[in-house]
Structure 1
Amino acid sequence: MTRHDDLPPTDAADALRLIEAQRAAAASRLQPDARLVYWPWAVAWLIGFGLYFLRFSPDGRVLVRLPGWLPLTVLFTLLVAAAVAQAVASARAYGQVTGDSAQRGRWYGYAWALGSLGIYAGLGRIAEHLPHDLAGLLWSATAVGLTGALHMAGGAIWLDRDLFRLGAWISVINLAGTFAGPGWHALVVSVAGGGGILVVGALARRRQRHRS
């Protein structure tokens, strides 16, 4: 005996609604939770750069007496944790995706890896000749600038407005923090950068739930 729910739709509008519902369900399964993509990075920036500002404040001040090694250690640990969380979420969502989208994703990942290695190798040769505060600004401003540029590139590749706008925002605040100088850059990136990533993650997740 066939249930009523199993019968094919007899109306064209019903058929279109059914197709759209199935398309939305498939897209939802193939997209990682936006909170897992964005929020771990937001936490890393808020806490990591926030601790850096408290320990290495403008004009050589120390707002909170922390061990000198602690801010960078916390920042790098949280960044690695964020990368792992995003990789796991993306692998679960895109693991069965093939074709052009998968190829773009791989090439985009290579751009991140090789771009980061090339920049950090160059900075390592330059930063040792600079005062500590300027060396820290050089490292952080370059890393954040690369992040903003690659976010905009990713947004252009996948026509993702959220990603492109986030990259543009990160680039703008990076410029503002760099002109403000050592110490202030960490505060700007922590509050405006980490906060911006939180907001974009929340908006992206809201749109995901609306589509599904």
Structure 2
Amino acid sequence: MTPIDDDAPPLDPAESLALIERERHNLGRDLAPDPRMMFWPWGLAWLVGFALFFLRFGPDGRVFVDLPEWIPLSVLALLMITAGIVTGVAGSRVSRRISGPSSRQGIMYGVSWSVAFTAFSILFAQFGNVLPEDKAGLLWAGGMVALTGALHMAGGAIWDDRALFTLGAWTSAINIIGILAGPGWHSLIVAVAGGGGMIAAGLIGWLRLR
């Protein structure tokens, strides 16, 4: 008589634990957004956008490439809007398959980004005109990068994600270094170390899922 599944011998404890771990990992991979889509658009935006700021508004007022003044800000804004759309679409595809506390956490976390950046923009707009142009630019760039680093660290703490927390700590550290280095240098540091850090985070996260 051919045994049916109910007659199959049970797995030993080690095999059972290994099976549970594999299935848990597979489920987490299926429900997690592609890290490349979450980090690469922002990394490219920072890399290209802040690099243009460095080339046009270099240290001590130096101009490496004589671009129209409006180009760096316009390119950075366009790239960041595009990054927001790409990550929003990637995140929504996953959120539709998740309900309960995790879904609410994600929504509240996303709202926190919008509220925080809006508040910072209004605050900086009140003081930007009373500062020299290079210092005003540093205030805006340094403040926004600082907020990004803090929110990444908060997200890492909420979801117990060491990689996200590490990215936030890295972003905060290079931002402090850039602020101390001064206008111009801050843009270069954020472009290379900040944008490059996000690109690396997306690649590492994707390899971990694989």
After TM superposition, is the score higher than 0.5?
yes
Distance change >3 Å, CA 128–CA 8, structure 1 → 2? farther
Distance change >3 Å, CA 8–CA 203, structure 1 → 2? farther
Q: CA deviation at 1:119?
A: 0.8
C-alpha offsets along residues 81-139 of structure 1, whole Å, 9 cap, x if unaligned? 11111111111122121111111111111211111111100111110121111111110
Distance change >3 Å, CA 61–CA 110, structure 1 → 2? same
The answer on 1:197 being equivalent to 2:198 is yes
8 Å contact kept, 1:34–1:202: yes
C-alpha offsets along residues 53-76 of structure 1, whole Å, 9 cap, x if unaligned? 000001111100111100011101
Q: CA deviation at 1:20?
A: 3.4
TM-score between the two structures when normalised by the length of structure 1? 0.91
Q: CA deviation at 1:25?
A: 2.3
Which residue number in structure 2 is paired with residue 136 of structure 1? 137
SS in 2 for 1:128: helix
Which residue number in structure 1 is paired with residue 30 of structure 2? 29
Which residue number in structure 2 is paired with residue 151 of structure 1? 152
Q: CA deviation at 1:16?
A: 4.3
8 Å contact kept, 1:31–1:94: no
Q: CA deviation at 1:14?
A: 4.8
Which residue number in structure 2 is paired with residue 166 of structure 1? 167
Aligned equivalents of 1:131, 1:196: Cα separation in 2: 30
8 Å contact kept, 1:156–1:164: yes
Distance change >3 Å, CA 172–CA 8, structure 1 → 2? farther
My pick for the range that moved more, 89-98 or 44-53, is 89-98
For residues 51-200 of structure 1, the aligned pairs below 5 Å read: 51-200=52-201
Equivalent pairs, count: 208
Q: CA deviation at 1:22?
A: 3.0
Query: What percent of counterpart residues are identical?
Result: 49
Matched AA of 2:175: N
Q: CA deviation at 1:155?
A: 0.5
Which residue number in structure 1 is paired with residue 11 of structure 2? 11
Distance change >3 Å, CA 9–CA 138, structure 1 → 2? farther
